[in-house]
Amino acid sequence: MDHRHISVLLEPSLDALQIKRNGVYVDATFGAGGHTKALLNRLEGGRVFSFDQDPEAYNNIDPEILRDPRFTMIKQNFSTLKEALSTYHIHSIDGILFDLGMSSMHIDNAARGFSYMQDGPLDMRMNPNQTLTAEHVLNMYDYATLLKIFRDYGEINNPHKFANFVISKRPYKTTFDVVNMTDQWFKRSHGHSAKEVFQALRIEVNQELKVIESALMQSLELLNFNGRLVVISFHSLEDRIVKQFIKQHSESQVPKGLPVTHDIIPLIKITKKPIIPTETEMHVNSRSRSAKMRVAEKAI
């Protein structure tokens, strides 16, 4: 299958990293390799470590990248960031890039179950070796757990009633089983009925938000002085986590009026507002429309 993938905010994200020609960089979300390849092109020496837990990502690596001695592929989720890098004797880095969007190889492959536009198995696993699938979530989770998922990860209105409705329509075997259910429940004049439900299921299956929180903290610990953290997110839940993380670590946590004796502020917020794609990029790549990029710099 032809998994053509256009890296979102490619040049702005590389510019934001302020790349040192011999620096050590991490592409936390390798995907189709677009950011990694562009990173390598901007380096003279240095090293690039790329993470991806999906075998499909490294089965389709561009041979040019694979041959580059400066490149190392780490076949793990980026939640293992510090531990995995330490096995290569890397304990500090000059920059890290997270592109949290879905790769085209996931969305376009019906067999992976990520797309509500194609019929396929209810899978949604980024790592095919894990056991939890979207089918298990929909068919086996109890009311209280489904309620929390749809409320917190899908931000669905009336999640109490919706969770009961989901249970009443069991069992679910395919993605279109879910779409048929959401078409019955949601009466909308725009947008796809299953969009928020698929988002909620994908986040639960892959524990995406918890992984992001952990990886951001590890990034902060790894970054050298003046090292850059660059994060591209694609929905409000991800962006909120990134925004709050940068705010928490770039502003004083001492209440106003109290004497400051030892207030360490480890980050400088570089982007006051998120950077978004240009109209041209949105036109060329419709999947970039929801992208937001935030940047911070290590201050100590």
Question: Which residues lie below 8 Å from residue 167, measured CB to CB, with a gap of 6+?
Answer: 143, 146
Amino acid 28: pLDDT: 97
Domain ranges of the chain: 10-105+208-298, 119-206
* Homologous superfamily in CATH for domain 10-105+208-298: Vaccinia Virus protein VP39 (3.40.50.150)
Query: Mind listing the pLDDT tens digit for each residue in 280-295?
Result: 999 998 888 999 999 9
Query: Mind listing the pLDDT tens digit for each residue in 171-217?
Result: 999 999 999 999 999 876 457 899 999 999 999 999 999 999 999 99
C-beta atoms surrounding 296 within 10 Å: 27
What is the full per-residue pLDDT of the chain (300 aa) written as tens digits?
A: 334 567 899 999 999 999 999 999 999 999 989 999 999 999 999 999 999 999 888 888 999 999 999 999 999 999 999 999 999 999 999 999 999 987 777 788 899 999 999 999 999 999 999 999 999 999 999 999 999 999 999 999 999 999 999 999 999 999 999 999 999 998 764 578 999 999 999 999 999 999 999 999 999 999 999 999 999 999 999 999 999 999 999 997 666 666 554 568 999 999 999 999 999 999 998 888 999 999 999 998
Closest C-alpha among 212, 232, 211, 223 to residue 16: 232
Predicted TM-score of the model (pTM): 0.92
Amino acid 1: pLDDT: 35
Task: Using the structure block, give the residue that is written with the tokens 């376009």.
Answer: 108
Amino acid 260: pLDDT: 52
237-240 long-range Cβ contacts below 8 angstroms, 24+ apart:
237/153, 237/155, 237/203, 237/209, 238/100, 238/208, 238/209, 238/212, 239/274, 239/292, 239/294
Amino acid 253: pLDDT: 66
User: Which token pair is 210?
Assistant: 């918890």
* Homologous superfamily in CATH for domain 119-206: Putative methyltransferase TM0872, insert domain (1.10.150.170)
Alpha-carbon gap, residue 157 to 135, rounded angstroms? 22
Amino acid 5: pLDDT: 63
